[in-house]
Chain A
C-alpha cells in the first residue's frame, strides 16, 4: 500500500515537472482585472501579451491570470507569479497598486510594472500609463465639426481623474471648433455592462444629442449609434465592425510596443525603473482611421494628431478656466503631471456637476 502511494506521488511529480521544463530566457506574466473576453481593457492588455509571444517566440514564456479581484486576491496572485519563476510581472489595474508594491519589496529580483498607478516604493517597480486624453482632444474637435445639434452625449464609467481628464480634454477640443459646444454626461457606475451602457446611450440620444462618446469598455453604445443613425466614437479597441456607418474614430489602447520593449529590456538585462506616461507619440495611444466624416474634418483631426505627436501641441495648455470661471492655466502655461494625474474638476463650459 505504502509502495503504491509512493509510486503515485512520483508519477505526479514527474508529470507535473514536464510542463515547466521549457528552456525560455525569461518569463513574463500578466494580471488582468477583467476577463480577456471583455473586448475592452483586459482584452487589449492580452493582445499585448500575444504580441510579446509573437516578437520573442521561444525566448519568452508567458502566463496570465484573468478576472483577478482587486481585494485580497490580488496580493496572492502577484505573489504566486513572483514565486513561480516570473522575471517580470505586469499588474494591469489601478487597484493592484499597493499589492504590487508590497510583493515587490519582498521579491527584489523580480521586476514589477503597474499600470495607471503612481507608487514606486522599491527600485524594481515601474509604472506605466497612456495619455488617452490626447486622443480625446481630437474626438472633441471632430464632434464639434460634425455635430448639427452642438451637443454630445458622454457615457462615463466612474468619476475618477482618468475619466474627468478625458471629458475636459474632449471639451477643450470641441471648444476649439465651436466655443458653445455642449456635453451631457451620464455615469453608469461600471466599466463593463453592455446592457447598462446601451440604456445610457439610448437615454442620451433621446435627450437630443447627436454624437456619442464613451469611456466604458463595451461596444454596446456604438451599436446604439449605428441603430439610431447617430455618430459615435469607440473606446479601447477599434469598434468599426460594430458601427461601420457610425464610428468616426476610436481611441485604441495599444500596449504591444510597450510590453515588447520592456520584456526586451529584461532579456538583455537593461531593465530600469521608469514612470512612463506614453501618448500618441509613443504609439501607446492609436487613433483608428478617421471615417464617416467630411474630408476637411478628417484632415483637421490628422493635423492635430501630427502636432501632438511631434510635441508641437498639448491639449492642456492655457488659457484654461475652471468651471466657475476662475483661471486655472494662464496663457501658454501647461498643466503639470501631478495636476493631470489627480484632476477632479471640470473646465469652463461644461454644464454639469462633477459628482463628489
Chain B
C-alpha cells in the first residue's frame, strides 16, 4: 500500500474511532466508580437526535454539541436514580435504558428524517496543519476529535493524578470501606454516571453532526456496544481505550480498502475481522493477569446501600 493510502486510512480511522473513544472513556469513568451501565447505546442515540435537533433549531452545530452533552447526562440520570437510589439491578436497568433511548429518540426524530444536517466544520490549526503526514491527521480535524484527545488525557489525569480520582477508584474498588472512610459513595456514583451520559451524548452528536451529518433512526447501529466492549478491552485504562478504539476503527477501514483493491475473501469474513482482532489482542494482553486484576473495579455491578 502506498503512503497516501495509509495516510487516508489513518484519517478516516480517526473519524470512525472518535465516537467509540468518547463513549468508551465516559463508560470507563462510570465503571471505575463501580457501576456497570449497559445503556451506552441508548444514551448515544439520545445525543445523536438532540444534537441534530438543536443544531437545526438554533442553526448552529455548537448548540447541537451542547444539547447532546446535556441531554445525554440528563437521560443517564434516569439510570442513576433507579440503580443508585433504588438499588435496582444495573445490568437489566442499563439494557432497558437502551430500549427506552432508541424509542424516545425515534419519536423525537420523526420530523428530522430527510433533512440534511449541519456539519460541525473542521478547525485547521494555522501552520501546524500544513506539516506533512501528521498535519492533516492531528491539526486539521473536527472539533470533537480534539475534544476526544483532550478527554482521554483528562480522564487519565483525573483518575490517576487527582484526589477526586483516587476517591472514584476507592468507591469502585470497595464501596463498603469507602463509605466507612466518610466518602459519599452514592454522590460519587451519580456524578460518574452523569459524566458517562454526557460523553455518550457527545459521541452521539459526533455521529449526527460530523461522521454522517443527518438523522436516521437507529443510526448508532451498535456503536454503543462496541464502546462497552472497548472499556473491557482496555482493562479500565484510558490510554488503552485510545488504542482499542483506533485499532477497531483501523481494521474496519482497512478491510474496505482491501475489498476495493479486489481481495477475493468473502466480505462477511472481512467484516468479522475487527471483532476477531479485538478478541485476539485482548487475549495477548490479558496474559498479564496481575495488571488486569489491579485495574478491575472490584465493586463493578454491585449495588450499594448505605447502612444507617
Name B residues whose Cβ lies closer than 8 Å to a Cβ of A. 4-5, 8-9, 12, 15-16, 106, 109-110, 113-116, 119, 207, 211-214, 216-219, 221, 223, 252-253, 256-257, 259-262, 264, 266-268, 271
Q: Is the CB of B113 within 8 A of A43?
A: yes
Q: Is the CB of B221 within 8 A of A196?
A: yes
Q: Does A189 contact B (CB under 8 A)?
A: yes
Q: Is the CB of B223 within 8 A of A352?
A: no
**Tally of contact residues, A, Cβ under 8 A:** 42
Q: Within 8 Å CB of B223, what residues of A?
A: 195
The one of A39, A159, A195, A352 that contacts B114, using a Cβ cutoff of 8 Å? A39
Q: Is the CB of A39 within 8 A of B113?
A: yes
Name A residues whose Cβ lies closer than 8 Å to a Cβ of B. 35, 37-39, 43, 153, 159, 184-190, 192-200, 202-204, 206-207, 209, 218-220, 223, 227, 237, 241-242, 351-353, 355-356
| A201 to B252 CA separation, bound complex (whole angstroms) | 13
5 A-B pairs closest in CB distance: A206-B8, A187-B267, A203-B256, A194-B212, A37-B217
| Given A39-B216, A193-B221, A206-B9, A241 contacting B116 (CB threshold 8 A) | yes
CB distance from B248 to the nearest CB of A (A): 12
Chain A residue nearest to B107 (CB atoms) is A37
A43, A159, A206, A219 — which one has the most chain B CB atoms within 10 A of its CB?
Answer: A206
Q: Is the CB of B12 within 8 A of A206?
A: yes
| Given A207-B5, A207-B257, A199 contacting B16 (CB threshold 8 A) | yes
The one of A35, A194, A352 that contacts B214, using a Cβ cutoff of 8 Å? A194
Taking A187-B267, A196-B221, A207-B260 as given, write out 4 further A-B residue pairs in contact, using a Cβ cutoff of 8 Å, ordered by the A residue number: A39-B113, A43-B113, A186-B256, A204-B256
Q: Is the CB of B260 within 8 A of A194?
A: no
Q: Within 8 Å CB of B114, what residues of A?
A: 39, 43, 237, 241
Q: Within 8 Å CB of B207, what residues of A?
A: 194-195
CB distance from A169 to the nearest CB of B (A): 21
The one of B16, B116, B216, B267 that contacts A37, using a Cβ cutoff of 8 Å? B216
Q: Is the CB of A194 within 8 A of B219?
A: yes
Q: Is the CB of A195 within 8 A of B260?
A: no
Q: Is the CB of A219 within 8 A of B214?
A: yes
CB distance from A200 to the nearest CB of B (A): 5
CB distance from A280 to the nearest CB of B (A): 24
CB distance from A65 to the nearest CB of B (A): 14
| A202 to B8 CA separation, bound complex (whole angstroms) | 9
Q: Is the CB of A206 within 8 A of B5?
A: yes
Q: Within 8 Å CB of B221, what residues of A?
A: 190, 192-196
Chain B residue nearest to A194 (CB atoms) is B212
| Given A193-B221, A206-B9, A223 contacting B256 (CB threshold 8 A) | no
| Given A193-B221, A356-B266, A202 contacting B12 (CB threshold 8 A) | yes
| A356 to B267 CA separation, bound complex (whole angstroms) | 9
The one of A186, A195, A227, A237 that contacts B259, using a Cβ cutoff of 8 Å? A186
CB distance from B249 to the nearest CB of A (A): 8
Q: Is the CB of A184 within 8 A of B262?
A: yes
| A353 to B263 CA separation, bound complex (whole angstroms) | 8
